[in-house]
């Protein structure tokens, strides 16, 4: 896809996961698979389907209510934080986790929305050994003043007791996007639109996330 801005013709990158039965789901848990029912199949001239989706299906955005009882739900998020510039960082060299040490020397600025490109984007399923963001890296990002963090895995944590990275980020107002697909995205600065479904009272929601390589 491409878009036009004045005299520019620039590519649009869809970095969302497709949603379908049999897709990769968190830790391959069967109950997280989307369920689809055809409720009308052109008998009255139209086709209609009913979808049963986990709120953490595919590419999705977490709200504070995911880990904090009484926390803000997805319908309370400030959408201005999800529309604007973002920075893709290439961390494909990370073998197991993204640590604070791995972030030192990276170009991370206050107000950035950081998307981490790792080896996860080359995986066809949801391997249990996906690269995750550790608590130290979460603290580092909060200190840097980022507005959001995105990772190309269905969770930013693997089996960390108490979910510290989620808690550190969300309690400091840092938005979390999980399930990105960044295999074909070069490192750099982009314009991002990442809009979650408006699910009232939900702790998370699936989202369509796109990047545009506009230069400002």
Q: By the 8 A CB rule, do 62 and 203 touch?
A: yes
The vertex-18 CA angle with 14 and 23, nearest 5°, equals 145
Amino acid 44: pLDDT: 85
Full pLDDT tens readout for the chain, 216 residues: 555 555 567 889 999 999 999 999 998 889 999 999 999 999 889 999 999 999 999 999 999 999 999 999 999 999 999 999 999 999 999 999 999 999 998 999 999 999 999 999 988 666 678 999 999 999 999 999 999 999 999 999 988 999 999 999 999 999 999 999 999 999 999 999 999 999 999 999 999 999 998 654
Domain ranges of the chain: 2-18+55-212
C-alpha separations of 45 from 36, 37, 38, 51, 114 in Å: 20, 17, 14, 20, 46
Residue 147 makes CB contacts below 8 A (sequence gap 6+) with 81, 111, 112, 113, 173, 174, 175
* 113 DSSP β-pair partners: 148
Report the DSSP pairing between strands 83-90 and 188-196: antiparallel
What is the widest separation between alpha-carbon atoms in the chain?
61
Residues 6 or more apart whose CB falls under 8 angstroms from that of 139 comprise: 100, 168
> Shortest CA distance to 144 belongs to which of 127, 169, 163?
169
Active-site residue, from 56, 60, 66, 166 = 66
| Catalytic residue status for 60 | no
Query: Could you say which of 3.40.50.2300, 3.50.30.50, 3.30.70.100, 3.30.420.10 is the CATH number of the domain covering 2-18+55-212?
Result: 3.50.30.50
CA distance 143 to 100: 11
């Amino acid at each position: 896809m491409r878009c036009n801005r004045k005299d520019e013709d620039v590519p649009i990158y869809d970095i969302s996961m497709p949603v379908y039965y049999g897709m990769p789901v968190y830790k391959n848990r069967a109950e997280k698979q989307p369920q689809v029912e055809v409720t009308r199949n052109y008998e009255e001239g139209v086709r209609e389907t009913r979808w049963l989706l986990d709120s953490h299906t595919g590419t999705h955005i977490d709200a504070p209510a995911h880990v904090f009882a009484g926390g803000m739900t997805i319908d309370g998020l400030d959408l201005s934080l999800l529309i604007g510039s973002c920075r893709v960082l290439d961390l494909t060299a990370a073998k197991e986790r993204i640590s604070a040490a791995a972030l030192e020397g990276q170009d991370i600025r206050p107000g950035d929305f950081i998307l981490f490109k790792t080896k996860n984007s080359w995986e066809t399923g949801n391997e249990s050994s996906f690269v995750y963001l550790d608590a130290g890296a979460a603290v580092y990002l909060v200190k840097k003043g980022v507005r959001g963090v995105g990772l190309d895995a269905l969770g930013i944590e693997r089996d960390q007791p108490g979910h510290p990275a989620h808690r550190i980020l969300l309690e400091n107002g840092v938005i979390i996007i999980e399930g990105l697909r960044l295999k074909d995205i070069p490192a750099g600065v982009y314009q991002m639109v990442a809009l979650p479904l408006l699910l009232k009272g939900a702790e998370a929601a699936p989202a369509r996330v796109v990047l545009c390589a506009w230069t400002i």
